[in-house]
Structure 1
Amino acid sequence: MTAKCSIILEEAEGVLAVPYDAVHTSKDGSKVIYVQKESASEGEDAASDYEEVTVTVGMESDYYVEVSGDGLREGMRVLIPTDETVSPSEENGEKDTAFLFGGGMPEGMGGNPHEGKGNGGPPQNMGGSQKGNN
């Protein structure tokens, strides 16, 4: 018999988190992210439409890091660099993607998304063996 479990060391609510790739180190050693300027046109993602914001990093998960800083708020678009390989979107001049700030930490960043309910197997009425239908 085997079991898979998670040990929660820290938990936070009401914080902002971004993917690791969105956080950069500036020349002076501070951590920064690039957020879309409010004056940027809707639907446009030109590099000039983003501004650098100094952040303080907090808790981390496998893919996300908590950030705080002056002017950051839920709903801001954050620039995330893509891999250096050529993708179909790069042929059109697009080299970066954006991440939209959401409220709270992403799943797996504190809290227990799997409350330990149930005993495995398929959810009810979703397949598996049916008793009494022989």
Structure 2
Amino acid sequence: MNAPQVVHVGIDGAVATITLDSQHNRNALSRQLLAELHDALDAAEAAEARAIVLTHRGPAFCAGADLKERSSQGSTESDSNPFVDALVRLMDTARPTIAAVKGAVRAGGIGLMAACDLVVVDESTTFALTEVRIGVAPAIISVPILRRVAPS
């Protein structure tokens, strides 16, 4: 049985809208979500979209890594590569990328959001680097975050 799709892409004219829709785990960065995000970015490129909007369904934009998946299936060093690749793709695409965010943004979700060119948030949006509570540096997402906050 196939798992339900957790990333949707819609093309409206020149704009591709990519929607994270894995509400059961607060849009955590599971292997499935990352694979479908790459497929959605491919679809946006194939449709020759002139802009990409990254948004979500549910109360959280993204909860960061899917820790339940990692603990149940084990993790390898290569697990971070699809996430790193997604960050690079969002940062390097010639198309303007816009994150439309409302709700909770945690850990890797901050990196995903920061990798976009423009971020639009609701005033109720909250942010947290949850890795630091367990003594882990948010190293993977540092590049897109520093791109946002470091002086030019």
Q: Do the structures match in fold with TM over 0.5?
A: no
Structure ranking higher on relative contact order (CA contacts 8 Å, 6+ apart): 1
TM (norm. structure 1) is 0.22
TM (norm. structure 2) is 0.21
Task: Compare the two structures and name the one with the higher strand fraction.
Answer: 1
Q: Which one has a bigger Cα radius of gyration?
A: 1
